[in-house]
Amino acid sequence: MSRTWLYVLFLSVVVGASGVAAATPPDLEASLALFSGGGDVMIPYSDEGRAQLEMAIAAFRSAIGVPEGLDETDEAKVASVAVDPGKKDLVNKLSQSYYTLGDVFLRTGKEAETTYVKGKQWALASLRLDPAFVTLEKDKGFAAAVAAETDAAALYWACGNWLRVAEFDKLGAVFAGAPAKCEAMAKRTLEIDGGYICYGPYRTLGAYFGGLPALFGQDLGLALAFFCEVVSEPSFCVGCTSCPIDPSSSEYFENRLLFVEFYLLEKGLWQDAARVLRSILDEPIGTKYPLYNAVCQEKARTFLAEVEKHL
pLDDT at 242: 75
pLDDT tops 60 at residue 13: no
DSSP string, 82-97: ---GGGHHHHHHHHHH
**Which sequence spans correspond to the domains of the chain?**
194-311
pLDDT at 239: 79
DSSP string, 147-170: HT---HHHHHHHHHHHHHHHTTSH
Q: What is the mean pLDDT of residues 214-237?
A: 93
Three-state DSSP state, 284: coil
Compare 67 and 215 and report the one with higher pLDDT.
Answer: 67
Task: Give the integer Cα–Cα distance in Å for 103 and 125.
Answer: 21
Measured torsion, CA atoms of residues 143, 147, 153, 157, in degrees rounded to the nearest 10? 20
Kindly report, residue by residue over 281-293, the tens digit of the pLDDT: 999 999 999 999 9
pLDDT tops 90 at residue 34: yes
Kindly report, residue by residue over 130-178, the tens digit of the pLDDT: 999 999 999 999 999 999 999 999 999 999 999 999 999 888 888 888 9
Lowest mean pLDDT among 21-30, 121-130, 167-176, 206-215: 21-30
pLDDT at 82: 96
pLDDT at 238: 84
Alpha helices in 261-289 (DSSP H): 265-267, 270-282
pLDDT tops 80 at residue 67: yes
Compare 210 and 6 and report the one with higher pLDDT.
Answer: 210
pLDDT tops 90 at residue 197: yes
pLDDT tops 60 at residue 17: no
pLDDT tops 90 at residue 3: no
pLDDT tops 60 at residue 18: no
pLDDT at 37: 76
Compare 25 and 105 and report the one with higher pLDDT.
Answer: 105
H/E stretch holding 19: none
> Residue 233: CB partners within 8 Å, gap ≥ 6?
227, 243, 259, 276
> Residue 200: CB partners within 8 Å, gap ≥ 6?
156, 189
Other CB atoms within 10 Å distance of the CB of residue 224: 22
Q: What is the mean pLDDT of residues 251-276?
A: 98
